[in-house]
Amino acid sequence: MSLVFAFLKKYRIAASLALLMMVIELTVELAQPYLISKIIDEGIAKSDLGVVWMWGIVLLIGTVFAFAAGVASSFFASYASQGFASDLREKLYDKVQSFSYSVFSRFATSSLITRMTGDVTMLQDTIFMSLRFMTRVPLVVAGSVIMAMVVNFKLGLLLALTVPLLLVFVMWIMKRAGAMFKNVQKRLDKVNGVIQENLTGIRLIRVFVRMKHENGRFAASSGKLMKNTVAALRLTETTMPFIMLVMNAAIVAVLWFGRADIMAGSASVGEVVAVANYALRTIGALSAFSWIAVTFSRAGASAQRIKEVMDTESGEAAEREQTEAGDKALHRGTVRPADKSTGSALQGSVEFQHVSFRYPTSDIKVLEDISFTIEAGKRVAIMGATGSGKSSLVQLIPHLYDREGGQIYVDGRSIDEWNTETLRRSIGYVPQEVLLFTGSIRENIAWGREDASLEEIVEAAKIAQIHETVEKLPNGYDTQLGQRGVNLSGGQKQRLSIARALVRRPRILILDDSTSALDLATEARLLGALDRISCTTFLITQKISSTQAADLILLLDEGRLIAGGTHQELMRTSELYRGIYESQFEKGEALHA
Amino acid sequence: MPKSNALTEPFLQPRPPVIADPSKAQGEYKKKKRAKNVSGTLARIWSYLARRKLKLGLVLFMVLISSALSLLGPYMIGVAVDDYLGGEGGFWGMGWGRFLIVLGVVYLLAPITSFFQSIWMIEIAQETVYRMRVDLFSHLHKLPIPFFGKRQQGELMSRVTNDIENVSATLNSSAIQIFSSVLILIGTLSVMLTLSPLLTLLTFIVVPLMALGMRWITRRTGPLFKERQSNLGDLNGYIEETLSGQRIIKAFSQEEHVKQEFAQRNERIRLSGFWAQTISGMIPKLMNSLNNLSFALVAGIGGILAINGQVTIGVIIVFVEYARQFTRPLNDLANQWNTLLSAIAGAERVFEIMDEEVENKDEAQAAKLDKIEGAVKFEGVSFGYEEGRSTLSDISFEARPGETIALVGPTGAGKTTLIQLLSRFYDASGGRITIDGREIGTIQRENLRSHMAFVLQDTFLFEGTIRENIRYGRLDATDEEVEEAAKLANAHSFIVRLSGGYDKMLTGGGSGISQGQKQLLAIARAMLADPAILVLDEATSSIDTVTEIKIQQGLQRLMEGRTSFVIAHRLNTIRQADQILVLKDGGLLEHGSHEELLKRGGFYSGLYHGQGIEEEAGD
């Protein structure tokens, strides 16, 4: 909650105005039963037409007044809540961008997305509703009771006794119902889970003839869902009738004592009517209480989830330094030329010494005791089964994660000593899954280096073997990609993301299985073109054809380096490598035979 | 931000857009998925509800009573004021005490009837939804497999979950509320008219005002919400894109760039959201104010009438209360009506699936075989999904028990169709398929399939332990048999190394273990099922070559002694087959062993020496 108030502080004036307007509106409404008692007692009872006119007009003016106040409160509340949400979202996004990658991957991406969208919207709506409506409900209850006591203290006291009782009751129901609905949600998730599984595995279920088994499983979990839902709803459905029951009893009591007082002359008809009217208003407000409690508890959960992100440390020292540098650059509004020159000074030799690594959230070692050296400008090919640690290995080079043990040197200097930004500016990274952004092809390539000229972009595209394809598109480099744009094939997207990495003129190029969708001829042309530019290349691949020319081949198995060397060396020393070679190249040999 | 600015800031917002053609706005605002056949769908929902006719009758009875009581309550208060508090005399000659008892009973019964009305309805609704769910689910399992290929899984999922939930929520409350709203509306109106037509007219003045106000608001909110929605979609898309691509952003040091882009989008949504919320926020204010207005009119003018003796104080009080009761159901009705319509549309989508044609029934005299040898024979088999277009034509071959048959050919050649005919997901339109000399049409479908096991391209693992996942192959297998199967499949060694071993929970889709390990589990599962006929449908195509080498041994063991059909792109699996069937455009192009086909120098030999089948058949 402190988080909410911290962000709302900037909008305190608008928020207070919204509340004030709401109170004005409420006052008018609360005065109504009081005024009608005046009309009855002073107007009708005394047959005084003037009094009726007067109070009638007061009521009318009040209505207009209340409407204006209501509209104004909506305006201010909307301003405050939208501003709040916008600020919060931006802070949250900046915070997430400041995370080091290993901190970032502690959260599931989908959960971060929900926090930034759903949870922020939830808080925004809650604030909006609070300013206009929710704070009003307790005020209606309290105000009605007080007004009833003002009109006639003794009769009003009857309300003052019943209402707190009902409040306790509503809170008790809420607490119990909350737990029950959580249960219902769990059951529903279970039911949906079974459906999801069955739809995905439908062929398997069919061929294993397990339909009866699955139907039984589903009926059982659906049955539980039904029982829990009925139980939870039965509880909440008692709330309203119970409130009505108690308040009705109070009204009967008001009438009973009211008549006695009228007979005794200590009360008027108008007063009795007004108190009864206040009681009726309380019923409506009380029933809204449960809804408010639910909203607040959900908003609380959202605030908690957002706070978790806000309270997370950004990451290691190198990363923070970089963020600060970034902030400064933002204030200056320019790109740092100094950093860039440092970047091109980097040569590109890489050395791993006994490197081990595990992901922050996992206890399984992904890499263990990896050592190798590669000189600047040479090519390393990395092979291994899915899950053997190939991608993890290359991700350590741009310092996306902190390793657990060992050292990684770039140009003989530990990567911990490099400024992370300088290091990354010299690295071109092409990840396994193709990630292009919505925008034009030119923008996507220039994304690698914002100040790249069109010539540089075209040059990168030529090396990546995508230039001709782009030229053939109706809008060339200005063709839009993404949701409303052109759909490129898998291989075209891969080559585009290679171009994006190349436009940086990297000293170290990392291709994480980025040529898998290319046909052999295109891949060969690409590798040939890469030979002509001088940069250290890490190439993760499944194809023997692309490892043969590498200066060093690393063969990984379950996180360990089981063989390393040139193609000829591995053919002699590694049985697994020979196995892979044979499975891919036999047909080639058959052709030669 | 300086203080003075904070005060004026809210007024410096750009003005909201207003569109010229209001009819268009209404269209946009109201555009929702509407049901096509409302009465038909309602009739079917009714057929579910009708199973509890008695209870439903009771609910309707309760609704009638509670609606009547909620009319009677305020009326009696009015009577109390006129006859007992203000004036003398009695109501139907009752004394004050008796009157209060009657009022007490009315006040007691009103909440009780409304309580029973809602919980009984909830019980009926939940039972109905339960039945619909179970019916739908078991129907899904009767549908032919190709149905699932045609549909997007997400869309199907949404029908089975969201649409049914929607029906559930609506049946719980809306259906009853609509009914009672209508009753109360009619009741209130008639009582009001009897008491004082003039005051009734005054109460009604607010209705056109309400309509006018709502029109003014929806004209503006329609486009505003649309704009906000598209801005929101844009922003969410950006968040999703940049967070999914976070690795790239980090590796390319692009944090500042995306922050700025984000800020721009964020500001756009703030503006459109501001006006959408401000204006739509006026709806409850308007409702409230109109309530207040009718209150003022009834009180003021009613007072004047009372002085003239045209109405009593009691009548004014009854009207004040009725006026409140009157706008509420009107408001409810509008809300509930929309929910109801969308629920009907949801129900319709559910029923649509239930109307899909199921797999053909077994013939009455179909046999159930305890054991089969695995001799498979196709004699001039042809088949077409659609009339006049044949997917397979004139396929003949014979597999002896224990042989491995490889199916080779480009995508769309009919390999998978051939397997689907064998497992009777479809029935051949011409020719004969026999197993052990028996035509498969005379064997019960489920019995036939229980003698077959499949290892498919997309290995599917259920949420559950590894043990449960293997046991899926044969539900009554003992723990020892499960482990034995895992050992044969080469899966045992990796399973025992996992934390938890055989009892390790696999979450949805089996994340946490590698693709190759998943495939080993699938092999163990098939091993446990111990079928006479085995189908490997591209079992290794989604795994990398290194992993494939590792699972090869398990696969070999699985295929031993079983008639195996192998669909694969990779040549080394195919080479060892006893027979190779080369399919092209639905016909059997070549047929023979690897050596024979190579010697012949035809299509297969071309594939083998040329690009390789991977390239030809891949996507």
pLDDT at B73: 84
* Alpha-carbon gap, residue B314 to B335, rounded angstroms: 32
* Alpha-carbon gap, residue A470 to A476, rounded angstroms: 5
Would you place residue A322 in the very low, low, confident or very high pLDDT band (cuts 50, 70, 90)?
very low
Portion 451-470 of A in contact with B at CB < 8 A:
none
Integer-rounded Cα radius of gyration of chain A: 36
Smallest CA–CA distance, residue B432 to chain A, in Å, is: 21
pLDDT in tens, B525-569: 888 888 899 888 776 665 667 777 767 777 888 888 889 998 876
Smallest CA–CA distance, residue A474 to chain B, in Å, is: 25
Portion 17-46 of A in contact with B at CB < 8 A:
25, 28-29, 32, 35-36, 39-40, 43-45
pLDDT at A553: 92
**One-letter amino acid of A442:** R
pLDDT at B88: 63
Provide long-range contacts, Cβ within 8 A and 24+ apart, for A54-57. A55/B299, A55/B300, A55/B303, A56/B296, A56/B299, A56/B300, A56/B301, A56/B303, A56/B304, A57/B300
Lowest pLDDT segment from A91-95, A153-157, A267-271, B338-342: B338-342
pLDDT at B239: 85
* Cα B13 from chain centroid (whole Å): 41
* Alpha-carbon gap, residue B174 to B404, rounded angstroms: 61
Q: What is the mean pLDDT of residues A128-141?
A: 84
User: Would you call A508 an interface residue with chain B, using a CB distance cutoff of 8 Å?
Assistant: no
Instruction: Please provide the DSSP assignment of A517-529 as one string.
Output: TS-HHHHHHHHHH
Can you name the residues that pair with B566 across neighbouring β-strands?
B406, B536
Nearest Cα residue to A318 out of A18, A98, A58, A51 = A98
pLDDT at A341: 37
Question: Which element (helix H / strand E) includes A552?
Answer: strand A552-557
Portion 49-68 of A in contact with B at CB < 8 A:
49, 52-53, 55-57, 59-60, 62-63, 66-67
Q: Is the pLDDT of residue B17 over 70?
A: no
Q: Which residues of B touch A43 (CB under 8 A)?
A: 303, 307
* Alpha-carbon gap, residue A86 to B556, rounded angstroms: 60
pLDDT at A338: 38
Task: Region of A229 please: left (phi>0), alpha (psi -120 to 50) or beta.
Answer: alpha
Residues B252-278: b if buried by 16+ CB within 10 A, e if exposed: bbbbbbbbeebeebbebbbbbbbbbbb
Q: What is the mean pLDDT of residues A337-356?
A: 69
Are B383 and B426 contacting, i.e. CB atoms less than 8 angstroms apart?
yes
Q: Is the pLDDT of residue A109 over 80?
A: no
User: Would you call A108 an interface residue with chain B, using a CB distance cutoff of 8 Å?
Assistant: no
Computed over every residue of chain A, the mean pLDDT equals 82
pLDDT at B251: 78
- Residue A347, CB-side half-sphere exposure with 13 Å CA sphere: 12
Q: B563 vs A241, A368, B400, B442, CA distance in Å?
A: 69, 43, 7, 20
pLDDT at B616: 34
Domain boundaries, chain A: 2-310, 434-505
Cα dihedral A171, A177, A178, A179, rounded to 10, equals 120
Lowest pLDDT segment from A243-252, B5-14, B166-175, B601-610: B5-14
Q: What is the mean pLDDT of residues B210-229?
A: 82
In the numeric block, the tokens 């007080």 are attached to A146
pLDDT in tens, B447-468: 888 888 888 766 777 778 889 8
Q: Is the pLDDT of residue B508 over 80?
A: no
pLDDT in tens, A399-422: 888 888 899 999 888 888 888 888
pLDDT at A318: 43
What's the fold here for domain A2-310? ABC transporter transmembrane region fold (1.20.1560)
Whether residues A226 and B508 touch (CB distance < 8 A) is answered with: no
Smallest CA–CA distance, residue A531 to chain B, in Å, is: 23
* Alpha-carbon gap, residue A193 to B157, rounded angstroms: 10
Whether residues A438 and B254 touch (CB distance < 8 A) is answered with: no
Nearest Cα residue to B538 out of B555, B521, B557, B554 = B555
pLDDT at B397: 92
* Alpha-carbon gap, residue B605 to B607, rounded angstroms: 5
Q: Which residues are within 8 A (CB) of A471 and not within 5 positions of it... i.e. 6 or more apart?
A: none
* Alpha-carbon gap, residue A555 to A576, rounded angstroms: 9
Of A35, A89, A198, the CB nearest to B140: A198
Of B104, B282, B295, the CB nearest to A74: B282
pLDDT at A117: 82
Q: Is the pLDDT of residue B511 over 70?
A: no
Report pTM.
0.69
* Alpha-carbon gap, residue A351 to A553, rounded angstroms: 14
* Alpha-carbon gap, residue A442 to A454, rounded angstroms: 8
Question: Which element (helix H / strand E) includes B380?
Answer: strand B376-383
Whether residues A206 and B118 touch (CB distance < 8 A) is answered with: no
Portion 281-320 of A in contact with B at CB < 8 A:
none
pLDDT at B166: 81
Listed in sequence order, the DSSP H helices in B308-361 are 313-354
Q: Is the pLDDT of residue A465 over 60?
A: yes
Q: Is the pLDDT of residue A324 over 80?
A: no
**Residues across chain A:** 593
Percent of chain A whose pLDDT exceeds 90: 12
Whether residues B259 and A94 touch (CB distance < 8 A) is answered with: yes
Can you name the residues that pair with B407 across neighbouring β-strands?
B567, B581
Are A477 and A453 contacting, i.e. CB atoms less than 8 angstroms apart?
no
Whether residues B288 and A29 touch (CB distance < 8 A) is answered with: yes
Would you place residue B212 in the very low, low, confident or very high pLDDT band (cuts 50, 70, 90)?
confident
Q: What is the mean pLDDT of residues B256-280?
A: 87
* Alpha-carbon gap, residue B617 to A571, rounded angstroms: 30
Lowest pLDDT segment from A200-204, A479-483, B25-29: B25-29
Q: What is the mean pLDDT of residues B34-61?
A: 85
Q: What is the mean pLDDT of residues A56-81?
A: 89
pLDDT at B543: 65
Which residue of A lies nearest to B615 if distances are taken between CA atoms? A519
Interface ipTM: 0.73
pLDDT top residue among B386 and A53? A53
* Alpha-carbon gap, residue B564 to B381, rounded angstroms: 19
In the numeric block, the tokens 């199967």 are attached to B485
Give B297: exposed, middle or buried? Use CB within 10 Å, 0-12, 13-18, 19+.
buried
* Cα B29 from chain centroid (whole Å): 24
Would you place residue A531 in the very low, low, confident or very high pLDDT band (cuts 50, 70, 90)?
confident
Q: Is the pLDDT of residue B387 over 70?
A: no
Q: What is the mean pLDDT of residues B11-34?
A: 46
Are B442 and B602 contacting, i.e. CB atoms less than 8 angstroms apart?
no
Q: Mutate which of B96, B115, B328, B533 to disrupt the A interface (most A C-beta within 10 Å)?
A: B115
User: Would you call B234 an interface residue with chain A, using a CB distance cutoff of 8 Å?
Assistant: no
Whether residues A255 and B103 touch (CB distance < 8 A) is answered with: yes
Q: What is the mean pLDDT of residues B478-500?
A: 86
Retrieve residue A170's tokens. Answer: 């509503």
User: Would you call B164 an interface residue with chain A, using a CB distance cutoff of 8 Å?
Assistant: no
Nearest Cα residue to A496 out of A516, A470, A476 = A470
In the numeric block, the tokens 């590894």 are attached to B466
Q: Which CATH superfamily is domain A434-505 in?
A: P-loop containing nucleotide triphosphate hydrolases (3.40.50.300)
Q: Is the pLDDT of residue A372 over 90?
A: yes
Q: A95 vs A85, A548, B253, B600, CA distance in Å?
A: 15, 45, 15, 67
Q: What is the mean pLDDT of residues A256-282?
A: 85
pLDDT in tens, B402-442: 899 998 877 667 888 888 888 887 888 888 999 998 888 88
Q: Is the pLDDT of residue A514 over 50?
A: yes
Cβ–Cβ contacts within 10 Å for residue B233, how many? 12
Q: Is the pLDDT of residue A339 over 60?
A: no
User: Would you call B269 an interface residue with chain A, using a CB distance cutoff of 8 Å?
Assistant: yes
Are B483 and B492 contacting, i.e. CB atoms less than 8 angstroms apart?
yes
pLDDT in tens, B127-161: 998 999 899 888 888 887 767 766 767 777 777 77
Q: Mind spelling out the 3-state secondary structure of B43-77? A: HHHHHHHHHHHHHHHHHHHHHHHHHHHHHHHHHHH
Instruction: Please provide the DSSP assignment of A495-508 as one string.
Output: HHHHHHHHTT--SE
User: Would you call B209 an interface residue with chain A, using a CB distance cutoff of 8 Å?
Assistant: no
Smallest CA–CA distance, residue A59 to chain B, in Å, is: 5
Q: What is the mean pLDDT of residues A514-527?
A: 80
Lowest pLDDT segment from B50-54, B171-175, B505-509: B505-509
